[in-house]
Amino acid sequence: MSPQSATAPSTETSLPVSMPSPAVAATELRPWGSFTVLEEGTGYKIKRIEVKSGHRLSLQMHHHRSEHWIVISGIAKVIRGEEEIMLCENQSTYVPRFTKHRLENPGKVPLVLIEVQNGEYLGEDDITRFDDDYAR
């Protein structure tokens, strides 16, 4: 057998490839805009959220998750507990579990942000709404 035809056993090991869940990369439309799940794993979910100009999400709270918001483009008005803050591109905020919060786009262009959720349960039904412009 010539050296070119001999095949040495491979010493490389391949790591398991995690397959995304069917929900990953599916965009869901809402009255205020849309969100796309970019990645989801045990204890976390990453979303791209787009809020239409002049619209806002419900005043809400989550029992099982916290949220980090990073503004990609546009301006965000954030109600977090008793405080109100404005965020511009490349600014961020953290919303702990059990904290009333609301996200609003007071600008003239769409607000785009990345949301990182952390917690034991990340279902869309973990929402207690206190006020909602769309009567949900």
* Residue 93 belongs to a domain: yes
Q: What is the pLDDT of residue 135?
A: 92
CA distance 7 to 95: 56
Give the count of beta carbons closer than 10 Å to the beta carbon of residue 94.
12
- Yes or no: say if 53 and 110 are a contact pair by the CB < 8 Å rule: yes
Give the count of beta carbons closer than 10 Å to the beta carbon of residue 71.
20
pTM for the complete prediction? 0.81
The whole-angstrom distance between residue 12's C-alpha and the CA centroid of its chain comes to 36
Q: What is the pLDDT of residue 4?
A: 53
* Residue 120 belongs to a domain: yes
* Residue 39 belongs to a domain: yes
* Residue 1 belongs to a domain: no
- Yes or no: say if 128 and 60 are a contact pair by the CB < 8 Å rule: yes
Which of these, 136, 117, 101, lies nearest to 64 by C-alpha position?
117
* Residue 22 belongs to a domain: no
- List beta partners, residue 70: 92, 114
* Residue 62 belongs to a domain: yes
State the total domains in the chain: 1
pLDDT in 10s for each residue of the chain, 136 residues:
555 545 555 445 554 555 455 556 789 999 999 999 999 999 999 999 999 999 999 999 999 999 999 999 999 999 999 999 999 999 999 999 999 999 999 999 999 999 999 999 999 999 999 999 999 8
Say which CATH number the domain at 59 has.
2.60.120.10
Q: What is the pLDDT of residue 26?
A: 85
**127: containing domain:** 27-131
Q: What is the pLDDT of residue 13?
A: 52
Q: What is the pLDDT of residue 32?
A: 98
